[in-house]
A and B are shown apart, each in its own frame.
Chain A
Amino acid sequence: MGELILEINGLSCGYGTEDILHDINFTVSKGDIVSIIGPNGSGKTTLFRALTRILKPSAGKIFFQGKDLGHMTYREMAKKIAVVSQEIESAWLTVEEYIMMGRIPYFERYQFFETSDDISITERYMKMTGVDHLRKKSMSEISGGERQLVAITKALTQEPELLLLDEPTSHLDITHQVGILDLVKKLNSEYGITVIMIVHDLNLASEYCNKLIMISSGSVYNQGTPQDVITYEALEEVYNTVVIVEKNPLSDKPYVLLVSEEDRKRFL
């Protein structure tokens, strides 16, 4: 594996005095696509909040490219780490204005207008993600899939080295799910952007990521390649649900089949 971009050492954190995450350890190498998986309420979003410093760790440290994240300014972070949240607020903006906001970390003090650089970077990414035809539309007019694309485009204009995506495919149909993740893959392979995402759909996580981190009640249960992590024993223990794990004939990656109660009774 290549050089480390993110290193999490003994991280504990939570809200108020109660810790939700306990002693989390993992590393992410440059060029990885990592997926954080786990049941609802296992602490995935809390982990993201710690990574973006919205929450302060109660113990442990996070290093980004060898530097303690806690010692970076928010502005420095915004130039290196971009986040696409689950809830995308539309505010009172057009798509173009919204995307242009990604350039805010690069504004000099007392600079009010975007430079021609800012404009050409925005244009380039809008063309790449294919949202430039939406530019004049209001953020509240566009569909959920388009909104997700627009939010990713905004994150790209920050020119990050690490992209954090919080459930980028939830509420989307399969066309858009695959569309978004293909784009993520392309960003990873062509632009070298490291990606960490929270994904609920285990099959998508398995198909698109080279590393999975499975979280269960605030601790890392298992981590490694999809083949290592997605096993029926692990899934049945962490999710408390009976599943069948098979292999995708094209990619050789594991995929998960669910079993209904009726069939459970009939066959098991």
Chain B
Amino acid sequence: MSIRKKKKWALLLAGIVLALFIISFLSLVIGTKDIKITDVFSIALNGKGTTEYSILFDIRLPRILMGFAIGGALSLAGAILQGIFRNPLVEPYTLGISGGATLGVSLNLVFGISRSFGILSMPLFGFLGAFFVILILYSLSLKKGVIKMNGLLLTGVMISFVSSSLLMLLQSITTAEDLQGIIFWIMGSLDESNWLLIKMCLCVSIAGLLLSYILCLDLNALALGEEEALHLGISVERSKRFFFIIASVLTGLSVSLAGVIAFVGLIVPHFLRMFIGGDHRILLVSSYLAGAGFLIFCDTLSRTIAAPLELPVGVVTGIIGGSFFVYAISRRGLLWEN
């Protein structure tokens, strides 16, 4: 590792962190009730009990924290999956993993499991759904070598279709009351008033980032292909299992708390790869932080662009991300030699 490269990485991280802070701060003061930037500190110090205080710290701050945790989690999951599948267009949403998590959480809602076993069973079911889909993808595309990398995306889209059909099936046999709950939840929002959930979400998301660094060099080696990674002394099967579990936990967590938010995991790592290359030592942490900033930005946009109406944040990321996806595919010949 040359010193020049370390400097470049440090500079990039500093830039992303700075941008993250600016976006978060703006997100704090912009909204239906704009708060002067200069007032934020005085409100924080002596404004307890005022309306401004509760807007800042009971409504907007939790959203920013959720945006941070979930944006980071989705983007990290995307970077990891792109590394393992060696395909720059995969992410939890395009592979149908989000769909699987959605189905898991809906089952939980319909059968009232969270009512009897507590709210934390929601992320657990999200995880199980996501993990199930990853297992299907894995056994189809990698183990037997039946489906090549391009087929992988197609399989993911099909899994999404199947899971949304199953979701409709669930919706059609459920009671009106549960139905409303499901629809409301699928629309997705970073609005979360339960501080226990917010803290758990932050902890799990950051833990995912830290854990992924244990084997991040394995991801680098895997980029050369599985046999090649084996030649470099990597226990390929073990590290794939490890990363599949991390990606499932991150996706399950995000979907169960904020609904389906598409494409964050695609755009952010994809863009960063163009700038800094494929070294996962910098890619993972920068994807996480940039993904966090990106989602906070999109969320701020979604609640201000049509104010007082609030759009689901998935709509904003879907439009930006979907357009980007098409652009990326059309340029793939240039970017990804394969």
Partner-B contacts on A (CB < 8 A): 49, 52-54, 73-79, 81-83, 85, 87, 89-94, 97-98, 101-102, 104-105, 107, 110, 112-114, 119, 140, 158
Contacting A at CB under 8 A, from B215-269, are: 216-217, 220-221, 223-225, 227-228, 230-235
Q: Which A residues touch B213, using CB under 8 A?
A: 112
**Given contacts A97-B277, A113-B1, A114-B1, A85 and B227 within 8 Å (CB-CB):** yes
> Which residue in chain B gives the minimum CB-CB distance to A76?
B233
Query: A93-B277, A113-B1 given as contacts; is B337 within 8 A of A140 (CB)?
Result: yes
Known: A89-B224, A92-B273, A119-B1. A101 touches B232 (CB 8 A): yes
B233 is contacted by which of A74, A91, A140 (Cβ under 8 Å)? A74
| CB-based nearest A residue for B220 | A101
Q: Which residues of A contact B277 (CB under 8 A)?
A: 92-94, 97
B281 adjacent to chain A (CB < 8 Å): yes
Whether A89 and B228, one on each chain, are in contact in the complex, defined by CB atoms closer than 8 angstroms, is yes
Q: How far is the CB of A99 from chain B (nearest CB, A)?
A: 12
Specify the chain B residue showing the minimal Cβ separation from A164. B231
B148 within 8 A of A: no
Tell me the complex Cα distance, A76–B230, Å: 11
Measured CB to CB, the nearest residue on chain A to B218 is A104
Q: Is the CB of A79 within 8 A of B227?
A: no
For residue B9, which residue of chain A has the nearest CB?
A: A113
Shortest distance from the beta carbon of A237 to any chain B beta carbon, whole Å: 33
Query: From DSSP, what is the main secondary structure of chain B's interface residues?
Result: loop
Q: Which of A81, A104, A114 contacts B234 (CB 8 A)?
A: A104
Cβ of A74: which chain B residues have Cβ within 8 Å of it?
230, 233-235
The answer, among A83, A97, A110, A113, for a CB contact under 8 Å with B231, is A83
Please report which residues of chain B, range 278-334, place their CB below 8 angstroms from some CB of chain A when the two chains form the complex: 278-279, 281
Contact-residue bracket for chain B: 20 to 34
Given contacts A89-B224, A92-B223, A112-B217, 4 further A-B contacts (CB under 8 A): A73-B233, A82-B231, A89-B228, A91-B86
A101 touches B230 (CB 8 A): no
Across chains A and B, which 4 residue pairs bring their CB atoms closest together, nearest first? A78-B233, A92-B278, A140-B337, A75-B233
- Judge whether A91 and B232 touch: CB under 8 Å: no
Are B220 and A104 in contact, CB atoms less than 8 angstroms apart? yes
Task: Count chain A CB atoms within 10 A of each CB in B214, B228, B279 and give the residue with the most.
Answer: B228
CB pair A93–B337 under 8 Å, yes or no, is no
Q: A241 to chain B: closest CB distance in Å?
A: 31
- From the candidates A53, A81, A83, A112, name the one contacting B281 in the complex (CB within 8 A): A112
